[in-house]
Amino acid sequence: MFIIGELINGMYANIGRAIREKNKDEIKRCAVAQISAGADALDVNCGPDSRNPISDIQWLIQVIQEVTDKPLCIDSSKPQVIKSGLEVIKNKVIINSTTADLEKLDILVPLAKKYNAKLIGLTISAKGIPQNKDQRLELAATIVASCSEQGFPIEDLYLDPIVLPVNVAQAQMRDILEVINEFKIISEPSPKSIVGLSNVSQGACNRSLINRTFLTMAIAFGLDAAILDPLDKDLLDASITAELILNKQIYCGSYLEAYRKLL
Ligand code: THG
């Protein structure tokens, strides 16, 4: 499982404040803590309240690059913000994200090619969030087709079914899990899959339990990557154990410690 730490997001009060006050230490602490806990990459999102996302994203990326050379996942719905982030990137990069809208695909796929970036494609369009599996697959196919036409390598594309909160979209959870598996048969080579895990428990109680149960199930359906809270130790333990059960890790008495040493 490729783990992208979600905590550098202006949606969190401490990060929102650090961005406003240009408090580098708070951002650096958050970056190092997530990587020490096992994150393979870090999501970077200015949050909905940033008044200057174009300069804030550059500041965040530059500060984070002072403490790590892990890949950064530039998270914005605005292509200009992603473009601005790419201008200062030194680490490997994941573009988060394009939708299935052609206006976005025509800007973001060439940018991903230019910067040798991986690309996250949300199965969503200007028409809104799909309500069933067929609509999700149709949008996924649109994204895959655009990437192929523009010569972007499909194995660098991560399709995201958009995880909805279980307390408002309970009836869609099974579709979301099943489509993760079905993304793989859209093309050869297969696109990869990713979810924003914490969405599933927004507004619910027992958040950590809901997150790790969903993650375990999604791993069984072939999930490749997740944006999640790497400081949730039970969550990472569940992820490692799910991979053990699927025979992706070798069992030994202290497999959790052994696997963590490899992180
Ligand atoms: N797919 C992709 N990218 C994404 C998402 C996705 N990026 C953003 C988001 N979804 C993933 N990141 C988060 C980060 C935090 C939370 C959920 C998803 C979260 N935050 C608390 C809340 O809203 O309750 C905030 C708590 C606080 O304020 O302290 O749950 O799906 N590609």
pLDDT digits (tens, 9 = 90+) for 94-114: 999 999 999 999 999 999 999
- In the block, tokens 């500060």 appear at 63
Percent of the chain clearing pLDDT 70 (strictly above): 100
Reported as a single tens digit per residue, the pLDDT across 45-95 is 999 999 999 999 999 999 999 999 999 999 999 999 999 999 999 999 999
From 6, 72, 95, 168, the mutation candidate for ligand 1 (largest count of ligand atoms within 8 A of CB) is 6
pLDDT of residue 260: 82
Work out which ligand 1 atom sits closest to the CA atom of 122: 32
Q: Give 263's pLDDT tier (boundaries 50, 70, 90).
A: low
From 3, 7, 9, the mutation candidate for ligand 1 (largest count of ligand atoms within 8 A of CB) is 9
Q: Is the pLDDT of residue 15 over 80?
A: yes
CB 77 less than 6 A from any atom of ligand 1: no
| pTM for this model (two decimals) | 0.97
Residues 6+ apart with CB under 8 A from 20: none
What element of type H or E holds 220? helix 207-220
CB 12 less than 6 A from any atom of ligand 1: yes
